[in-house]
Amino acid sequence: MTRLQTYAALLAKWQPAINLVGKDTLPDLWRRHMLDSAQLAPHIPAARPDGSPLTLVDLGSGAGFPGLVLAIMASDTNRQWQVNLVESDMRKCAFLSTVARETRTDVKIHPARIEKLAAFSADVVTARALTPLESLLAYAEPFLMPSSHCLFLKGATAADELTAAAKSWKMTVEQLPSRSGPAGNLLHIRDISRVKSRP
């Protein structure tokens, strides 16, 4: 909690300069951003089956939600997570680096556009408020293994996005209500593959 409090203080300090989150969400920061991110943790294994560290990739990290929150949680528990934050905005990368340093959190920050980043295998891919699901799966695809799964935080349009994505993607989806707000949804997606086009 102390590390998350440091994170929150830094966000409030940096917010006027680089607009990290919606201004109207700051008074409700702990529910709208911290809790919203932290609710993913129970859906992520503590480590790989062989006990080795699990690789997590957070796409479009922005102000660090959910990836940096998850990394902070892992650093104070027995979770073996190697957290990678992918963010193309250099100012936001500077913020992420500052929070990681001040909270003594081990993360790897990738200052690059998702589609330009050299892909590597990830056990878990996360994202929040980034792009519609159909595009989001395309961004995640280079990082996926057969055993990988995705945790995507979505709003009220989740059902429509799932319908649209099903035209291009096969997947197993568990849709869960968000713990941070009645309109939110958590999509837990496994067994992801492209729909084969007909000749």
For the stretch 74-111, pLDDT in tens is 987 889 999 999 999 999 999 999 999 999 999 999 99
- The per-residue pLDDT for 53 is 94
Count of C-beta atoms within a 10 Å radius of residue 76: 13
- The per-residue pLDDT for 147 is 95
Instruction: Please give the average per-residue pLDDT across 45-54, as a whole number.
Output: 92
- The per-residue pLDDT for 199 is 59
Measured distance CA(161)–CA(127) in Å, rounded: 14
Measured distance CA(106)–CA(53) in Å, rounded: 13
Instruction: Please give the average per-residue pLDDT across 59-63, as a whole number.
Output: 97
pLDDT for residue 19 is more than 80? yes
Range name among 5-9, 94-98, 148-152, 180-184 with the lowest pLDDT average? 180-184
| Alpha-carbon distance values, 196 to 169, 171, 199 (Å) | 9, 13, 9
Q: What are phi and psi of 176, to 5 degrees?
A: -120, 145
Q: What are phi and psi of 30, to 5 degrees?
A: -70, -35
CB 65 within 8 A of CB 97: no
Only one residue has tokens 């936001």, namely 92
Q: Which domains does the chain have, with CATH numbers?
A: 2-45+52-194 (3.40.50.150)
pLDDT for residue 196 is more than 90? no
- The per-residue pLDDT for 197 is 72
Average confidence score pLDDT of the chain: 95
pLDDT for residue 175 is more than 80? yes
Counting residues of the chain whose pLDDT is more than 70, the rounded percentage is: 99
CA 128 to chain centroid, in Å, comes to 6
- The per-residue pLDDT for 198 is 60
Range name among 37-41, 46-50, 107-111, 162-166 with the lowest pLDDT average? 46-50
Range name among 45-49, 54-58, 73-77, 153-157 with the lowest pLDDT average? 73-77
Instruction: Please give the average per-residue pLDDT across 144-172, as a whole number.
Output: 96
